[in-house]
Amino acid sequence: MAFPIPHVYKTPLERTYDSNGLASLVLQLVGLFTCLVLPLIIAFATGDLWVKEFSVTRNPKVMYTNKAVVSVFANDTSQPPLVWTSLRSGERLLGDLYSPAFSEFYSEDLNSDDAADVLWFDLAFVLPPGFSPTHVESVFLLRWDFEEIIRVSMETALSCSVSFPSPVRDIHVQGDLGWEQREPLVNNPYTRYDRAYARSLFDDGLVSAPQDLEVSRVRELYSDRNESTPFRVNSVKSSPRLERSDELEFSIKARIPPARILYKPDVLSVLKFGLIQYFVLAYLLTQLWGCISGGIVSLGLVNTVTRCPELDHMQRHLWKARVSY
């Protein structure tokens, strides 16, 4: 009794259909166009083939640097403003304009990610007799850090300005600390964004006159940059000033939403993204064209010459064997 011999490996016989005439040649050229050129056209037409900008979104880490200036203006423009600053040299530079204030700062981490989600600034001023506040300008310097694909570390400013038609005794502002950039950043190992804006305008040697502590000047210098953090006010609440009231309470609640940073990728990232699109489309169109061309040839719509390379190879070996024998 003979036992069946197990198969170790097998391959099917392959038949090829070679061009035989103008129609089959045109079919072959159409196939090359479909598999090689058409994927590039589709990828380019649908967009994002050559990506010029990428974006990344993440919650930044923001910390208060204990540097701030707050100016309170009266409804009587002839009265000089009251100016408070946390700088040690501020009282000496401002002279009679300096007004002491009780200040308090704290932050909240709502999602336990070691980054502040809300910043609170509370100040209380003791007003001189006859001073009726109607306008407040403030700027608080912050440390702003972002690290996700691209690293940004800088000192920025939270600036807020509010006005009222009549005197007030307390002001409560709520808003979001946003992110703006004029031009996308460049993502390459030779460009860094942790040095250009790292130095503070309130560092030693940079504040030598009362004009250096003007809120409008500081706000303009921090906003006139490629990267800035504008404070978008959502709500302002206040209470009218009483006749015997000699205090002004000023508070800011700043929420820190995720920042979306635009950046230009390096050449390798752009090529990788484009090639993935191209080869995926090329593979799908190649499979589709194989089905279409197989149906055209099977129906005999074009003239072709059928060949079987394996049988031709076997016949050549048999012919050589017969000749040698």
What is the rounded distance in angstroms from the CA atom of residue 261 to the CA atom of residue 306?
A: 59
The interaxial angle of helices 38-46 and 267-298, nearest 10 deg, is 130
Q: Which helix (H) or strand (E) holds 146?
A: strand 133-148
Burial per residue of 220-234, b for 16 or more beta-carbon CB atoms within 10 angstroms, e otherwise: eebeeeebbbbbeee
CA dist 178 → 17, 141, 215, 305 (Å): 64, 14, 19, 69
* pLDDT per residue of the chain (325 residues) written in tens, 0 to 9: 555 667 666 666 667 777 677 777 787 888 888 888 888 888 888 776 777 788 888 899 999 999 999 999 998 888 889 999 888 877 788 888 888 899 999 999 888 888 889 999 999 998 888 888 999 999 999 999 988 888 888 899 999 999 999 999 999 999 999 999 988 888 776 667 777 677 777 776 667 777 778 888 888 888 888 889 999 999 999 998 877 778 899 999 999 999 998 888 777 777 777 788 888 888 998 899 888 887 877 777 777 777 776 666 666 655 555 544 4
3-state secondary structure of 259: strand
Whole-prediction pTM: 0.72
CA dist 32 → 29, 282, 285, 290, 300 (Å): 5, 11, 11, 11, 20
In this structure, what are the phi and psi dihedrals at residue 171, rounded to the nearest 5 degrees? Answer: -135, 130
**Residue 42 neighbours by CB under 8 Å, 6+ apart:** 281
Alpha helices in the chain (DSSP H): 22-32, 38-46, 90-94, 215-223, 267-298, 309-324
